């Protein structure tokens, strides 16, 4: 009976929460409707310029606010140069500089929307086809938005990489694979690798985007409905996957992508020291530093609107004109001042009511939030974890369970500036705990609710691993939608970032390389044989071997690992791992054994020996995969020449 009453209260609470915002909105509308014309004077009576004098302020339906412009005297610098093509039909259309990158919107909030082309590969029955591999390079003060866009691949035999350069000159690369046997395998709205895969969080300050699209089996498994593959970086809301996407994308050339723009690469404090070049020209403006890109931006102060990058750009928003007068200087009747007093008194009372309603709303929302945390804790196996810890006689000191508030504070609310790594299984943030210890916090992309018990068992086993060359699992947080895992932080980068960087590679002598290989092999031997429950890593690669400042190796990223039952020697699983490191037999049979880890480790040895990447796209077909090139080179005795 008590349970039934509690459920009825919860239903009542859920009904009340959505109503409160509508009540507040209704009251605000009543206030606005009660205001006389003097109070309701809008900025429409006070036109504000968005461009410099004698400059074009519009191209078709797109506004062109300064610092953007179509001529040198109209833009701030060449990064903000745009071209208005009047000859295109239908047109006119706005383009970034002299490129073919069309702009559909420019916002003074620091964003613009562009239309990059879609990468595609289409093959006919006679093995002839069409290939379109686009790239996009942005000016130095315009970068790809790293949160609003997603990299998407659509096809049944396709894999693609997106790579390019960041503002600081560093290179990035990521990708994924989409495959399916028939159209029946595809699930509408699901980009889980079957017919479609998606990757979020392109690195911050990305200037260039190059897409490489190819087939894993050279389209030998394609069927009638999947003879085309597509890859694109686009605004998340611009594309929703369905079974018809392969056919529909044939008629789509471009999809919108969100880019960020800012001024220079300095902070507000640094920029303010040079008043002649300082971009915030209006005396009624302020400077701020955006979270997702370098440089600074300007905005009008509260109570002002317009373009803060112009001297007279920010104009006051008229609310109450001077006593007895309209904002345009016309005389108004004395009765209106009495109405204003009545409205002001009424507004004060309503504001008090709104504050009380807001306090009640926040209290209910906080209560709902706490219940949601409890729900996620139970859903993610929190009770099961506590029971197993108690049954094994282990305390919470050996396996700490963090709260979501602790980790949110440690990562500055999971700020993008705290990201230290990204992969197919999630994002890794740097976190600083209250005791000033620095940790790595891994936020997975998803969890299978049907395998919660398996996940808890893995967490328990991994937390017991106490090997000097394995990144130690310190604890977890289960009261978020997806569990968070907390590891010790190894801060000198990955083995991949050292051997594939000429400046860093010279510090890796042959003795150091041999020691790193031995330490990684020792870990695999421990996981496969010495651990109480054997563990298969499943994603062994140079990018998952971390180095400390003395170049000691520590194996990381057990997000793809699986425990091996004592009565099983192999596991059947969906395709996971990293291209170039995958066991060919595993790709054919989907049967996973310890040998899969050993094969991947062999590729790492080849990387250490040759300095080449596991997979390279700018080489001939027979030289793309290091695992295929190495035997050929050893037979031809051209190993040293090929490794250069």
- The catalytic site residues sit at 539
Does residue 443 have a known ligand-binding role?
A: yes
Of 141, 123, 121, which is closest to residue 132 (Cα–Cα)? 121
Q: DSSP state, 419?
A: E
* DSSP letter string, 77-120: SGGGBEEEESSSSS--EEEETTSS-EEEEEETTTEEEEEPBPEE
Angle (CA) 626-631-633 rounded to 5° is: 85
> Which of 443, 518, 517 shows the shortest CA–CA distance to 481?
443
Q: What is the DSSP string of 45-84?
A: GS----S-TT---EETTEE--TT-BSSTTTSSSGGGBEEE
Give the Cα separation of 92 and 84 in Å (integer).
Answer: 7
Instruction: Give the Cα separation of 426 and 199 in Å (integer).
Output: 10
Residues present in the chain in total: 644
Question: Which residue is listed with tokens 């970086």?
Answer: 233
Work out whether the CA dihedral 26, 28, 34, 36 comes out positive or negative. Answer: negative
| Residue found by looking up tokens 């796209």 in the block | 617
Tokens encoding 524? 């695999």
**What torsion do the CA atoms of 333, 336, 338, 341 make, to the nearest 10 degrees?**
-150
- Residue whose pair of structure tokens reads 């039952």 in the numeric block: 565
| Tokens at 583, concatenated | 């066991």
CA atoms of 459 and 312, how far apart (whole Å): 60
Compute CA distances 402 → 390, 479, 617, whole Å.
17, 9, 42
DSSP letters spanning 201-265: -PPTTB-EEEEEEE-SSTTTT--TT--EEEEEEEEGGG----TTHHHHGGG--B--EEEEE-BSS
In whole angstroms, give the CA distance from residue 563 to residue 571: 10
Binding-site residues, in ranges, read: 443
Known binding-site positions for ATP: 443
């Amino acid at each position: 009976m008590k349970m039934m009453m509690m459920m009825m209260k919860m239903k009542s609470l859920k009904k009340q929460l959505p109503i409160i915002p509508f009540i507040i909105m209704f009251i605000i509308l009543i206030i606005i409707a009660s205001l006389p014309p003097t109070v309701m004077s809008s900025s429409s009576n006070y036109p504000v310029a968005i461009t410099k004098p004698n400059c074009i302020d519009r191209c078709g339906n797109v506004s062109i606010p300064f610092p953007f412009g179509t001529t040198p005297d109209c833009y701030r610098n060449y990064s903000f140069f745009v071209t208005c093509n009047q000859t295109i039909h239908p047109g006119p259309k706005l383009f970034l500089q002299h490129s073919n990158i069309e702009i559909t919107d420019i916002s003074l909030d620091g964003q613009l929307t562009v239309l990059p082309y879609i990468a595609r590969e289409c093959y006919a029955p006679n093995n002839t086809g069409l290939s379109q591999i686009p790239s996009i390079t942005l000016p130095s003060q315009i970068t790809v938005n790293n949160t609003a866009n997603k990299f998407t691949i659509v096809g049944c035999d396709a894999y693609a990489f997106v790579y390019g350069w960041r503002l600081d000159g560093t290179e990035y690369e990521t990708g994924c694979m989409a495959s399916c046997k028939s159209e029946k395998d595809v699930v509408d709205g699901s980009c889980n690798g079957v017919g479609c895969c998606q990757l979020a969080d392109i690195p911050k300050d990305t200037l260039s985007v190059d897409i490489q699209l190819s087939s894993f089996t050279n389209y030998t498994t394609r069927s009638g409905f999947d003879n085309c593959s597509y890859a694109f970086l686009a605004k998340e809301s611009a594309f929703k996957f369905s079974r018809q996407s392969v056919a529909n994308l044939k008629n789509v050339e471009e999809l919108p992508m969100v880019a960020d723009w800012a001024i220079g690469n300095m902070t507000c404090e640094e920029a303010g020291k040079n008043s002649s070049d300082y971009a915030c020209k209006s005396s009624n403006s302020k400077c701020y530093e955006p979270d997702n890109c370098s440089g600074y931006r300007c905005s009008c102060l509260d109570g002002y609107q317009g373009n803060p990058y112009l001297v007279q750009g920010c104009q006051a928003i008229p609310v109450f004109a001077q006593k007895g007068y309209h904002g345009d200087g016309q005389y108004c009747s004395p009765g209106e001042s009495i109405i204003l007093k009545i409205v002001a008194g009424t507004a004060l009372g309503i504001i008090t009511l709104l504050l009380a309603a807001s306090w009640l709303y926040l209290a209910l929302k906080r209560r709902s939030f706490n219940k949601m945390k409890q729900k996620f804790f139970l859903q993610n196996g929190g009770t099961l974890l506590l029971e197993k810890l108690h049954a094994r006689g282990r305390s919470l000191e050996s396996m700490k369970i963090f709260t979501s508030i602790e980790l949110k504070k440690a990562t500055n609310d999971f700020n993008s500036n705290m990201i230290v790594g990204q992969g197919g299984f999630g994002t890794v943030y740097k976190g600083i705990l209250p005791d000033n210890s620095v940790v790595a916090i891994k936020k997975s992309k998803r969890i299978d609710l049907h395998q919660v018990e398996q996940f808890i068992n893995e967490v328990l086993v991994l937390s017991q691993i106490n090997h000097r060359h394995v990144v130690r699992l310190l604890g977890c947080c289960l009261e978020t939608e997806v569990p968070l895992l907390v590891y010790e932080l190894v801060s000198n980068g990955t083995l991949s970032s050292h051997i594939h960087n000429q400046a860093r590679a010279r510090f890796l002598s042959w003795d150091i390389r041999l020691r790193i290989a031995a330490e990684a092999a020792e870990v695999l031997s421990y996981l496969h044989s010495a651990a109480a429950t054997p563990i298969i890593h499943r994603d062994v690669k140079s990018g998952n071997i971390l180095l400390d400042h003395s170049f000691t190796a520590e194996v990381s990223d057990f997000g793809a690992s699986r425990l091996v039952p004592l009565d099983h020697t192999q596991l059947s699983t969906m395709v996971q791992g990293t291209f170039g490191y995958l066991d060919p037999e595993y790709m054919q049979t989907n049967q996973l054994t310890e040998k899969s880890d050993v094969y991947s480790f062999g590729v790492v040895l080849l990387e250490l020996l040759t300095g080449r990447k596991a997979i390279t796209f700018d080489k001939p077909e027979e030289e793309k995969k290091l695992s295929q090139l190495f035997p050929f080179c050893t037979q031809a005795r051209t190993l040293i020449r090929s490794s250069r």
